[in-house]
Amino acid sequence: MAETKNDESSVKSSSPTSHFEMKGDDISPDKDEGVLKEILKEGYDNEQPTSNDKVYVHYVGMLLDGTKFDSSRDRNEKFEFELGKGAVIKAWDIGVATMKRGEICRLICKPEYAYGKAGSDSKIPPDATLVFEIELFDFIGEDISEAKDQSIVRRILSKGESWTRPNDGANVEVLLKGTYEGRVFDERTVNFVIGEGFLKNIIPGVEHAITKMLKNERCKIKVKSKAAWDKSGEKSFNIPPHANVEYEILLKNFEKAKDSWQMNDTEKLDQGEILKKSGSSFFKDGHFRVALKKYSTIVDYLQSTNCESESDKERCRQLKLAAYSNIALCHLKLEQYIECIHACEKALELEAENEKCLFRRGTAYLALHEFDVALKDFQLVLSINSSNSAAKQQTEKCKDKIKLHAAKEKRLYAKIFEKLAKESEQEEPKQSEKTSNDDKSVEVENEHKTSNGTSEKQNDV
């Protein structure tokens, strides 16, 4: 049994069969001497890795008798893992979290913090106490961006509580501290609705990070310009275009928006009407991406409805039709033409002769230079409403584009044929000259045969 000093966190003992002294600070959570740490070389800064950080280390693993069973140094390849996610033995998650960059330490790990009664393969026996010498080279935060392009990198400074996180539409209260090149530009407590953060000058990167947080969690994020103010910058904070920023965030409180599975059909329909009104308001103000999200949520809510009454069924159909139609319009404004066409087709499944959706689909096809297909859509619009002046204009535009395209093709093919004809003319004299030379060769060969009485081919044989 290890001997405890006056300082209960420091332990030193030895065993006659052990190659190592059982010494070091007791860093196990329960102070049961399960993980002892001895620093062999001090690190060079005060920052330590936190949960979810990706860490880069070299290690040598040994049994108590000094037998080496694994070594990243022998492979000449650093080992990397995400801290606190159970990707390694418990002792590592505990021990590496206490290290600094450049630090080398020795961890002595009791079986319950290592491989336990099972051991591991033939190299680590059951109930084995293990020794690891670990060098920490670097650690980086967790990439929480949707594109996994390092545009939003998070480091958890203090863990939160419970297990729920804010969802889209949740009301949140956060304490923010934004810095740019060491200068604090934004420090405040703010309440806002997830999805509408821009109304309070909250950048997308911060809003996205908050949806990954627990109540009372504190984190630090590094945000690239694409998830901040991008090429526009922010004059009120004196942030230039294309600037990367950092934020420290404390999620003080939040109230989740109701999930669709928590609603009955009537509630989904009512919520759909609210979202439609909200989306239209944002659309009128030019916030097309926010409006798009509102309309898309309507579709999500109504996918799983099972309305019983005919009136509710029709109300549901009309809401979905309006949602898809408005989704198409948002995509059109954002110049996302393929997505616009897809949304129009969803709407046309609900109402085949919907004038607005046919027009919007035609407009998207026109933008994609699919003039023939676009023309058909505008002609369909006119067959439904012959007085639609916009469709008349677009029809004429398509016809002009088709004529122009045909003329271009005609000129292109004419050039191709002209080029081929010239190449053919240039080949004819060459062919004629080749034929003449071939005839002369035959005459010479015949003369050669006559003088020698045999051909060169026969002489070779």
H-helix or E-strand spanning residue 86: none
Q: Residue 147: which residues within 8 A CB-CB, separation 6 or more? A: none
Active site residue 202: no
Active site residue 378: no
- Active-site residue (options: 70, 138, 168, 312): 70
- Active-site residue (options: 115, 337, 365, 371): 115
Active site residue 180: no
Separation in Å, CA 361 to CA 42, 239, 379, 384, 390 = 65, 40, 12, 15, 14
Asked if 293 contacts 275 with a C-beta cutoff of 8 angstroms, the reply is no
* Residue 168 CB neighbour total at 10 angstroms: 17
Residue 125 CA to residue 201 CA, distance in Å, equals 58
Asked if 160 contacts 214 with a C-beta cutoff of 8 angstroms, the reply is yes
- Active-site residue (options: 69, 81, 137, 198): 69
- Active-site residue (options: 79, 132, 139, 288): 132
Q: Residue 243: which residues within 8 A CB-CB, separation 6 or more? A: 180, 225, 228, 229, 233
Separation in Å, CA 371 to CA 46, 347, 403, 408 = 64, 22, 10, 14
* Residue 401 CB neighbour total at 10 angstroms: 16
Active site residue 59: yes
Active site residue 132: yes
- Active-site residue (options: 27, 53, 79, 89): 89
- Active-site residue (options: 20, 27, 53, 59): 59
Q: Which two tokens stand for residue 203?
A: 């950048």
Runs of H (alpha helix) within 335-388: 337-350, 355-367, 371-384
* Residues carrying an active site annotation: 59, 69-70, 89, 115, 132
